[in-house]
Amino acid sequence: MSDVKTFEAHDVHGFGICTALTYQTGDEFIGMNWVSADVITAQLLPIIERYPIHVLKIGIIENFKLMRHWIDLIKGFYPMCKVVLDPVLSASAGFDFHDETTIRQLDKVLKKVDLITPNWKEMQQLSDNDPLEEAIKISQSTHVLLKGGHHPTEKGTDSLIYKGNITKIEGRPIEVFEKHGSGCVLASSISSYLAHGKSIEEACRLGKIYIEDYLASDPSKFGQHHFITIS
């Protein structure tokens, strides 16, 4: 739902595919059920057969091996479709969605992804290496936006990394509040800007502004979306 709300705020048409049913509040993750691969495909096919897809944004997903199949399926229809992966590995309340075996599958699909948006903690789950070192390693295959919300010394400064080159994206000095699902909102904002033809760096910078405004919009765990005009 956060994804579709964000797409709408950016004046793009977003189609949501349900990959899991979760039971949660802003403070507590209670449980979940994965949606089967057959049901996901059944949701996906009518959409890609009817509507042009410019950007695929992927969030919570059970199986990274099957994710590769779905990317190939969409790119078979739309070869220029960009792929943004928000690697949701665990809930903010502490529930882990994947075991180590599943996480290791991710390496094999990174070359099919245009941008991956892990936070500092997620990067620690992906490898025992230093998060920045691991992000630089992954950047040989795809663009990495290493979010700085959990950075030990540069909190709020994101790093966009590609082929080992690092571009810092600093936050504004405004008061923000922790939000439920903020990673989804950021990745969806970036995806929306890509759909409008922005470059990956432009999309990440503009997405940073959008998510900061979202985080500042309300002191509760739930933010307010604001509609924007994109030129």
Note the pLDDT tens digit of each residue in 32-43. Answer: 899 999 999 999
Q: Give me the pLDDT at residue 93, please.
A: 47
Q: Which helix (H) or strand (E) holds 159?
A: strand 158-162
pLDDT for residue 66 is more than 60:
yes
- According to CATH, the topology of domain 2-216 is UDP-N-acetylmuramoyl-L-alanine:D-glutamate ligase (3.40.1190)
Structure token digits, residue 112: 């099919």
What percent of the chain has a predicted confidence (pLDDT) above 90? 60
Q: Which stretches does DSSP call E strand in 105-146?
A: 115-116, 143-146
Higher-pLDDT residue of 155 and 9 is: 9
25, 151, 97, 44: CA torsion to nearest 10: 80
DSSP 3-state assignment of 56?
A: strand
Confidence of residue 214 (pLDDT cuts 50, 70, 90): very high
Q: Give me the pLDDT at residue 92, please.
A: 55
Confidence of residue 94 (pLDDT cuts 50, 70, 90): low
Q: Which helix (H) or strand (E) holds 34?
A: strand 29-34
pLDDT, tens digit (0-9, with 9 covering 90-100), for 146-162 = 998 666 677 789 999 99
Higher-pLDDT residue of 6 and 130 is: 6
The pTM score is: 0.92
Q: Give me the pLDDT at residue 152, please.
A: 67
Query: Given the DSSP bridges, would you call strands 143-146 and 158-162 parallel, antiparallel or unpaired?
Result: antiparallel
Residue range 204-225: average pLDDT? 93
pLDDT for residue 100 is more than 70:
no
pLDDT for residue 145 is more than 90:
yes
Confidence of residue 24 (pLDDT cuts 50, 70, 90): confident
CA distance linking residue 83 with residue 114, whole number of Å: 5
Q: Give me the pLDDT at residue 97, please.
A: 57
